[in-house]
């Protein structure tokens, strides 16, 4: 049976399934359009996200907003979440057991949203969703279709801030994303 948004958000708020729950200021479940055509999945909350309880509100989030705007998508049209809902200490990469513990929440969110397209931002999101053996350097820019959902792995915006040479790939992926959304029929409102 599908859980409701309220039940899901309450479960995330109360969750202590992995050690990441210790020392955080806020859970960061993710936010956006609950009937979005496009779901974006990142790695985990950073300091600003932890403070505000919102995903992708720091520098990487601002870059992501500009990237979406460049292909005509507003932030409020999409749903944005992370592979883990709690900030890893010192912004370290979440461990595979932590992303595994948190994955049911992400799956439940996707089941409620029923996105047509999922953009996986970076290696952690890719491995959490598609398997620990996956490599972002090999999968980036390659469409994967799973249960009728089109999934595109791309660089995390934080990687673009660290290494601007990756922006060329990212722009290619954003154009592919725009074209995919244009070719798919519009979702029926629920």
The rounded distance, in Å, linking the Cα atoms of 19 and 22 is 6
Q: Which stretch binds ligand SF4 (CB under 6 A): 8-16, 132-140, 156-164, 174-182?
A: 8-16
Beta pairing partners, 42: 82
Query: To which H or E segment does residue 42 belong?
Result: strand 38-42
Is residue 108 near ligand SF4 by the rule CB under 6 A?
no
- Running DSSP on this structure, what letter comes out for residue 132? T
Largest CA distance in the chain: 45
Tokens standing for 116?
């047509």
Site string for ligand SF4, 47-86 (x = CB under 6 A): -------------------------------------xxx
Residue of 8, 15, 36, 118 that binds ligand SF4 (CB under 6 A): 15
Residues 86-105 that bind ligand SF4 (CB under 6 A): 86, 98, 101-102
# of chain residues touching ligand SF4 (CB under 6 A):
13
Nearest to 9 by CA among 81, 74, 77: 81
CB of 67 to ligand SF4, least distance (A): 26
CB of 119 to ligand SF4, least distance (A): 21
Query: To which H or E segment does residue 161 belong?
Result: helix 157-162
């Amino acid at each position: 049976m599908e859980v409701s948004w309220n039940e899901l958000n309450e479960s995330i708020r109360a969750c202590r399934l992995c050690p990441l729950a210790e020392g955080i200021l806020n859970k960061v479940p993710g936010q956006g359009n609950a009937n979005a055509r496009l779901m974006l999945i990142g790695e985990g909350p950073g300091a600003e996200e932890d403070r505000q309880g919102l995903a992708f509100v720091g520098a990487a989030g601002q870059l992501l907003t500009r990237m979406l705007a460049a292909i005509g998508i507003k932030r409020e049209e999409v749903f944005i979440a992370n592979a883990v809902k709690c900030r890893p200490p010192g912004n370290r990469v979440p461990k595979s057991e932590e992303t595994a513990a948190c994955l049911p929440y992400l799956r439940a969110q996707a089941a409620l949203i029923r996105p047509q397209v999922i953009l996986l931002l970076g290696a952690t999101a890719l491995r959490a969703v598609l398997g620990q053996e996956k490599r972002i350097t090999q999968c980036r820019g390659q469409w994967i279709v799973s249960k009728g959902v089109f999934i595109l792995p791309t660089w995390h915006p934080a990687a673009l801030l660290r290494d601007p040479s990756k922006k060329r790939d990212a722009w290619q992926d954003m154009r592919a994303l725009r074209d995919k959304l244009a070719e798919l029929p519009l979702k029926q409102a629920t």
